[in-house]
Structures are given as structure tokens and as C-alpha cells.
Structure 1
Amino acid sequence: MQRRQFVLGAALATALVATGCAANSTADTSTDTLRYAAVGAPAAASNDPHGGLGNESDAMRFALLYDVLTVPGADGSTQPRLATSWTPDTTQTRWKLALRPDASFTDGRPVRAADVLFSLRRMQDKAAENYGRMAMFDLAASTVVDEHTLNLATRKPFAEVGKALESATFVVPEGSTDFTNPVAGSGPFRMAGGDAASAVLERSDRWWGSRPPLRRIEIRAIADPQARADAVAAGQADVAGSVNPATARESEQDGLQVVHRPAVTVYPVVMRLDRAPFDDPRVREAIKLAVDRKQLVDAVFLGQGVVGNDLLTPADPTAPAPPQRQRDLDRARQLLAEAGHSNGLDLTLRTTTAYPGMETTATLLADQLKAAGIRIRVQVEPQDTFWTQVYSQADFYVSYLGGIPFLDVARVALLSTSPTNETAWHRPDWDLGFDAALATADAAGRSAQLGRLQQQVRDEGGYLVWGAGDGLDLARPQVAGLPTGPGFQRLFIDQVRINAT
């Protein structure tokens, strides 16, 4: 361990200076302060909880500062948080939302229904930044009933309101306009110092929920996965979010703790249906058949994952179970020839290093696809610009999904009106089927319909989903209680503790 810390010193010092943390560079073994090195580009850090949430470090900080209406449970079901119940009328377009009566902001003001409605409307006003997070609601028609009750209106019959309100519905005081600095929140912590890139949070005595074991949490945005891991190895952080499998394996041998979030990391390959050659379904099918999925799982995730079957959210309770797509190079070459590419294809596959494994995915895919006559040039894009200049714009690239539910994926990427329809999946019949599923009050019937929609995307769409890997967080051995669930579950770290050595 000491030799490894010596080697990484220079790179780590650079990362800490970039995030404004050089002053706290001495190793700390405190049991009341957690130092979390989170995924995030410091230059893109924000104090606005209703914007794009491009940095995980921002979203994690917001989940500590602000209350949310509902949260995902360990089994994937929606659980109450600030909202205690959500009850529909017979049309599934009007919902009575009841709020906790004992929640208050850090400045002492009670949390009211008016604050919640203001926050939801502000999220909807910023739809261009947050991928239409509140698109399903008619908030102009929604009303405050009393201090702790709302009538929420949806634009169409929508049976999944509880899930739509999960995790990112951060509530701020009514009338908040200046987010240069964090505004008062009603979450378990309050802002005590630092800035958006390197924040110091202290436990709030006004929090209505279970008292956090920790007095202080420090969150640093560090873009590079290795730098995050190095911070823990050198004693500069207690937790590093989303490290690569090789580093996790080495660190575990050095006595650090690796926390697994099973099968939550997906690096789908995006092919745009509105651009040649991917507008030809035979080309898309050929690429899907030319891939050795197990080799990718073994190489990218070091076997810590499962083989994918081109389903975007395989762990979602509504996911179907079609026969596994197998590698078939003869059929892949035949499809390419039928599509007019008997001499193969020359393509550029874009990727980045923002998440562990994205570059390895592209490199190994390029090697595998050669066997089918598909010649790939891998282009690695800078982390700071990939999500603004490549994501949802390029025709062929490695993307990222962090275990979010199918409903969120559909809203963001699969509807004709989706703000980031990265594969150009524009199917009016699919949109109608999605609306019909969400209008179905019966949970089993709704699940079956959503499963059929996912099957159609799998069979006809522009996503190659070769596998799902474990999310790997690195921590000191004394850290306990880190979340292990998918998606936004990993943001809620208010009950993490540090045991005495």
C-alpha cells in the first residue's frame, strides 16, 4: 500500500488542487466526517438542484441538502419520503399528494405544499436542462389544497406518479430565484462551507428523519476514476464512487473495501436510426450479432457483471426475457452483404474516459467487429465535452446508463418527444403503446405492456447492450452502510457511518 501511495502522489495532488482540497490533504481517520470523492467535472459543478444533474457529485450533494418526494426502495418499489401518500382519481389524471407535517427548512420555515408545487413548476420550466423531468405533469392545472396537500394533474392518464416523483424532486422554498449559492433545504444536512465542486455539509438538527450517524460529509467532484481511487488509497478520501474493476481488485488486495452495486453499469453502443449506415436494420442487426458479449463482460468488468441481451434496463421489474442473442459471424457478414456492404464497413466509434470501462468497451468492440468485416476507428473524446458534443448527437458512440428505471429511460431517450432521443427512435405506434401502458391501473397488465415495448426496442432499435456490470465503489474498511441499489439509490448516503478502528 505504501509503495502504491508513493507512485500516485503527483497525480493525486493535481486532482486535489483542481477541486480546492489541497488544504485538507492530511490523512484523516475521523469517525464523524465522511470524505467522498464523487464522479463529477469540477468545471461543470452547479448549485441548481433543478437543472441537468450532469455531475453525480452535484446530485449527491442535493440529495443531502434537499428533501425529495419519494425514493426507490431496495426491491425497486416506490417508498414515501416527503410525500406520505399519492392517491389517484378514477381517471388516473388527478392525484392527491399528502406531505409530512413535520418537515422544515434549515432556516426554520415549515415545508408547505406551496413550496413543493413551486419546486415542481421550476423543474418543468427548466425542462431543456433536466431532460423533461416533469414532462408528464400538467402543473398549471395542479393546485394547493392546504398546507400539506396537493392536487397533482397529469397530462394523460399516468399510473406511475409515485415513481415519476422519485429521487430528483428536490424541494426548495417558494420564491427561490438565486442559486448562486445553495438555498435553504429540508434535507438531513446543510451547507457549511466550500463550493459546488468541493462542498462541506453538516448535519441538520431540523431533519425530520433518522438522525445521520455522521456530523459532516465532504463531497469532492473528481472527473478521473483513477484519481478518485487514488484519493482513498492515499488517505485523502474515505469513499471513491465508480472506480474501475482492475483498480477495485488491486485495492481490495491492499486492504480497502469494495462495495458492489450489482449489474447497474451499462455502456450501450448507440447507433442512430436516421443516419447511414445505421438507418438499415440489417446493419444494426449485423453489429449486434458480431459482438462477443461474454468477452466484453470479462474484459471490461473483469467478470463482475452479466451478459446483456440488448435490453436497456435488464434489472427493471418490467423487463422481458427473450432468448439470448448469440454471436453469429456468418449471419452478420450475410446481413452486411444484403445491405450492400459486401466489402465491409469503415466506421468511427466515439467514446470517453468519464466512466471506467468506456474506452475499453470501444477498443475491444473494434477488435471483435473486424471478424465481420467492420473496420472501426476509435476516437476518445475529452471528458468535459463528451456529454455536450457527442452524447445524443453523434451517430455511433459508447454511452452510459447507471441503473435508472425503464420509465426514466423512455422519457429521456425513447419517445418521439424525448429531449435526448439519442438513437432517433421515432415510432408513433410505440408512443401510443407507452401511453396505453401508463394508463393501465392494473400493475400486472401495465408491466406486461411495458415489457412488450422494451422487446420492440431490443429487436428493432439502435442500442447494442452487451452487458451490465457491477457499480464499484471503493472505501476504507471502517465505512459502513453505503448504498448498493441501482440508479438514484446510490445518492442517499445520509445513513452511512464510520466505525471506530
Structure 2
Amino acid sequence: MKTRPLIAVASLAALTLAGCSAQGGSSTDDSAAAESSGATTLRYAAVGAPAATTDDPHGRVSNESDYLRFAMLYDVLTVTGPDGTAQPRLATSWEPVDGDLSRWRIQLRDDATFSDGSPVTADDVLFSLNRIQGKGAENNGRLSMFDLGASSATSEHELELVTAQPYAEVGAALSSLTFVVPEGSEDFAGAEVPGSGPFALDAADDTTATLHRNDDWWGGEPGVAELQITAMPDPSARASAVASGQADVAGSIAPATAQQYEDSDGFEVVRRAGAVNYPLVMDTAAEPFEHPEVRRAVKLALDRQALVDTVFLGYGETEADVLGAKDPFAPDLAPVERDVDGARQLLDDAGFPDGVELTLHSTGSYPGMEETATLAAAQLEEAGFRVTVETDPPDTYWKKVWNVEPFYLNSLGGNGFVDFARMALVPDGPINETGWTDPAFAERFDEALATGDETERHEILAGLQREVAQDGGYAVWGLGDGLDLTSDAVENVPTGTGFSRLQIERIEVAGG
């Protein structure tokens, strides 16, 4: 089954950004009032292809520009904090009702309203969760851990959620993409569906969305009065938009571009530590990766420091194949040291004394993916692999290569281990791209989620991370910094990974 990647960007397109202007009436007095109140416009050039734009926050979303728009329009239940734990947003608390962790009481804010003034209720939340789960074939099976048919709204601002099995990480399960919309919402075209986020929609087309500040947002006054989000697939074009004064923020620029502007007057490079992850993905059910020795040989053959230095230009650090390395329970493993002779011996042990022929697929969706493939292939050659690199265009890569070919690069961003394992490391996971179907692993994963004691649960999860690092189909050679370019008039740009990078409501622009 082919579904969309965890993070993907499609085809290229050219576009022009709107100019910056203060918001206010046509008269001089109105303009002066707008300026004195700090009413400004933020123009954000985000990763995204206009051809892949969608208006539905619950279905298939391929553009970061769309996720950014949805994050500003439709609030979520919880978010992941800097320490990796779930933090309140629309949900103020989540507590188990019973001892086996399968019934949870979710308390909601009582001061949240949609942009049309109607209150956010438990019925709205339950409707939204059902809609997300119902579109599981489009959104990687989100919320599949819940039995929503057995769940109910118990009061205006409280609901009881039932899980299909004991699930201790409900707070994390409700984080990030649980966009809440009014009950009954189905048609998301235009500005018909109000949200409870910091902004409301004025207008949108496939390229640019314009939003205005929601003055009644429960979270206080956002940093700007107007937000313009433009989908731009090319990282150089995003950076050029800021350099030419057409944009205030360029999301996800290339490391070489960051070096260019690092010490330039008038610009700032914002670093999001550990936000970029381009693992080599090996299908453990396909030849030759069905042999654990071959997978280990790939991991041993990589010169991780050279990859970090070349691909990330120093904006990153080497890694030890750990998925979710920034999780609070992640094992502290030393980066794998390159051992070419050891890799050759592992190939011999697997029955390949003369080496292995491979095709490594890559694309230009994100800065550095093509460079990763080229350098990794050269390093693998030294250990007995004969590697052909095929570079596929972004508009077809995530449909024809991802979750299809046995050896390719993915972009995993800041995904946490629990959510990722549920989707990709259990036998019935909706995006099990590495064919990892170890029943013992799945049993221990279920055991962890049924363990109420956090310390014990974290010990089990850390052990599972170690197991995948050693024998799994992901060669996580390094984590790079996410890099954004801004004008020096911009302040409070988020520095987190994953969804937290999209929480831009506190960004301010001086003299926009």
C-alpha cells in the first residue's frame, strides 16, 4: 500500500511574493493608528509546491506551507514541549479513568472560541478526531489507537476517549496534527470553516494564503496583524525572496545559503537543532537487506562525520542510527565508527564475498538529499557495495519511490519514536516502509504502552530504540539543524523540531 510520506514536497513552480505593508484603513489617521498598535504583516516563504496544495487539514497533506496555514487557523489539543513531553493546548489535562490505561478523561479549555465567536466544545473535538481517523488511508493512520465509537463527550468541555488497547502515551497521541474544527465541517474551500487558532483566513489560492489576526484567540495577541504564507518548492528561491525584500522568513534553506548569510548585515540565520534527518532506508523483506549482516554492513561503511561535514556543512551532528534521538528516553549511544573491513566481513558472512549491487534512490525535495546519496554511495563502494544512484524528481519521488523501492533516502524530520513506531515499526503499521515485522518487538511495544510507570515505560522504549538501531532498516547517520533565513526585523522565530516549528504566532516584525 502506498500512502504519503511523513514529510514530502512535490513539483516545482515559480511564483511572486506580495510586498509588505502595514494593515489599516485608507485614511492617514487609520494608518497611523495601525502603526502605533504594532499592526504589521509577516510574509513567510514556506516549503511547498502549489500543485500539491490542499484545504483539508485532516486528509493528505504534502506541503509544509499547508501545515503552517492549518497550524495558524485550527488549534490542536496538545503540543510537544522542548523536553519532548506533551504540553497543553486546547486540552488542559488528560488522565486515565481506569487502571489499564484504556479510558481517558480529557479536559478542555473553557475559554476557547472559533473565529465566528462560537465556543469550542467536546462535541467539536470528538467530531474532529473522528474525521481525522476516518481519513486514515490519507494521513498515515493517525489516531488509529483510539476506539472513537466507544468514546463520548461527557460535558461541554470534557470527553472520555477510549483506546483500542492500553495506551500510556495519550498526551502525545493528541499532539500536533489534531486540528479541531466545528462539528459538521466538511467543505474547507475558501474561508467557510472557522478555526480556534491565532489567525483567521482572508483568502487563499494554490500559492499564497492571507490570514488576519484573531483578536479573540484564547492565547493572547499574535505578534503580527496579517500573515501571508507562500508555497515555494525551491530552497534557493525562498532564500532569494528574503534577500530581495519580498519575504520576511524563508523556511528550510540550504546549509550553503546559511553560510552565505551567517555574518551578513540585515539577516539572521535561525537554527533548529536536530530537525533534519535523511536516513538511508532498507527494506528488510527484500534482497539483499533481508540479511541483518547486510544492513549492519551499510551502517558500518558510512563515514558519518564526512556526511555531516559535507551535507550539513557543520550544522549538525553524527548519530548512531537511533530513531527519535531527541526523545527524553532515547538511549545515549556513541555514533557508529566507520569500519570498512568489518563491513566487508559482514557481507562475506551474509553470503556475498564478491560484494552487492544496489540502486540508491534520492531526490531534490530537501536541501542535501542528493549530496547525501552521492557521498554515501562512494563510501559504500569502499566496503564492497556497487552502488548506482538514481535521482528522481520531487513530484514523482514520494509516489513512485518512497515505500516502493528497497533502498532510498527519506526525510523524517523531528518525529518522536512512539508515534513513528506505531506507524512504521509494527507489523500492521500503515507505513512500514522497512518491512520490520518482528512480533517480539511489537509485543514489547504494546507492553511499554500498557506500563503506567514512566520510568519503566521509558526503559522499555529505549531498549526498542537500541534494537532498531542495531538491526533495523534505517541508517540514521546524522541529524542536521533546520535552517531558516529571516530579515533582522524578525523576532521570536520558533527553534523547535517537528510541529513546534510551525507555531509562529509569536513572531514579530519591526516596521513591516
When normalised by structure 1's length, the TM-score is 0.94
The structural deviation recorded for 1:360 is: 0.5
The structural deviation recorded for 1:137 is: 0.5
Q: Does 1:58 align with 2:69?
A: no
What is aligned with 1:171? 180
| Aligned positions, number | 484
Which of residues 270, 288, 304 is equivalent to 1:293? 304
Greater CA drift, 201-210 or 315-324 = 315-324
What is the letter of the counterpart of residue 84 of structure 1?
A: T
What is aligned with 1:376? 387
Q: How far apart are the structure 1 equivalents of 2:157 and 2:297? A: 55
Q: Secondary structure at the match of 1:348?
A: strand
Cα offsets for 1:244-288 (capped at 9, x unmatched): 110111022333210000112110000001110111111111111
The structural deviation recorded for 1:201 is: 0.6
**CA separation of 1:45 and 1:93: change in aligned 2, threshold 3 A:** same
What is the letter of the counterpart of residue 33 of structure 1?
A: T
Which of residues 204, 208, 214 is equivalent to 2:214? 204
The structural deviation recorded for 1:468 is: 0.5
Q: How far apart are the structure 1 equivalents of 2:186 and 2:291? A: 48
What is aligned with 2:201? 191
Cα offsets for 1:145-178 (capped at 9, x unmatched): 1111101111111111111111110001111121
Summarize the alignment of residues 405-444 of structure 1 with structure 2, pairs less than 5 Å apart. 405-444=416-455
Summarize the alignment of residues 96-495 of structure 1 with structure 2, pairs less than 5 Å apart. 96-182=105-191, 183-255=193-265, 256-495=267-506
Cα offsets for 1:273-312 (capped at 9, x unmatched): 1110111111111111111000000001111111110112
Q: How far apart are the structure 2 equivalents of 1:106 and 1:95? A: 29
When normalised by structure 2's length, the TM-score is 0.92
Q: How far apart are the structure 2 equivalents of 1:318 and 1:74? A: 14
Q: How far apart are the structure 1 equivalents of 2:345 and 2:461? A: 32
The structural deviation recorded for 1:52 is: 2.7
The structural deviation recorded for 1:407 is: 1.3
Q: How far apart are the structure 2 equivalents of 1:212 and 1:424? A: 44
Q: How far apart are the structure 1 equivalents of 2:451 and 2:349? A: 41
What is aligned with 1:39? 47
Q: Secondary structure at the match of 2:125?
A: helix
Greater CA drift, 99-108 or 114-123 = 99-108
Which of residues 53, 61, 83 is equivalent to 2:91? 83
What is the letter of the counterpart of residue 275 of structure 1?
A: A
What is aligned with 1:3? none
The structural deviation recorded for 1:411 is: 1.9
The structural deviation recorded for 1:27 is: 6.5
Q: Secondary structure at the match of 2:482?
A: strand
Q: Secondary structure at the match of 1:129?
A: coil
What is the letter of the counterpart of residue 457 of structure 1?
A: V
State whether residues 66 and 186 of structure 1, in contact with CA within 8 Å, keep that contact through their aligned partners in structure 2. Answer: yes
Q: Secondary structure at the match of 2:437?
A: coil
**CA separation of 1:167 and 1:125: change in aligned 2, threshold 3 A:** same
State whether residues 190 and 201 of structure 1, in contact with CA within 8 Å, keep that contact through their aligned partners in structure 2. Answer: yes
State whether residues 223 and 383 of structure 1, in contact with CA within 8 Å, keep that contact through their aligned partners in structure 2. Answer: no
Q: How far apart are the structure 1 equivalents of 2:290 and 2:84? A: 35
The structural deviation recorded for 1:401 is: 1.2
CA RMSD of aligned residues (A): 1.7
The structural deviation recorded for 1:196 is: 4.6
What is the letter of the counterpart of residue 277 of structure 1?
A: P
The structural deviation recorded for 1:77 is: 2.1
Q: How far apart are the structure 2 equivalents of 1:225 and 1:65? A: 25
What is the letter of the counterpart of residue 152 of structure 1?
A: L
The structural deviation recorded for 1:180 is: 2.7
Q: Secondary structure at the match of 2:262?
A: helix
What is the letter of the counterpart of residue 485 of structure 1?
A: G
Q: Secondary structure at the match of 2:465?
A: helix
Q: How far apart are the structure 2 equivalents of 1:77 and 1:28? A: 39
The structural deviation recorded for 1:49 is: 0.6
State whether residues 20 and 43 of structure 2, in contact with CA within 8 Å, keep that contact through their aligned partners in structure 1. Answer: no
Greater CA drift, 360-369 or 336-345 = 336-345
The structural deviation recorded for 1:29 is: 8.8
Q: How far apart are the structure 2 equivalents of 1:206 and 1:323? A: 49
The structural deviation recorded for 1:340 is: 2.7
State whether residues 224 and 353 of structure 1, in contact with CA within 8 Å, keep that contact through their aligned partners in structure 2. Answer: no
Structure 1 runs (4+) deviating above 4 angstroms are 26-31
What is aligned with 2:34? none
Q: Secondary structure at the match of 1:400?
A: coil
Q: How far apart are the structure 2 equivalents of 1:29 and 1:144? A: 43
What is the letter of the counterpart of residue 506 of structure 2?
A: Q
What is the letter of the counterpart of residue 62 of structure 1?
A: F
The structural deviation recorded for 1:337 is: 2.0
Greater CA drift, 372-381 or 238-247 = 372-381
Q: How far apart are the structure 2 equivalents of 1:97 and 1:403? A: 26
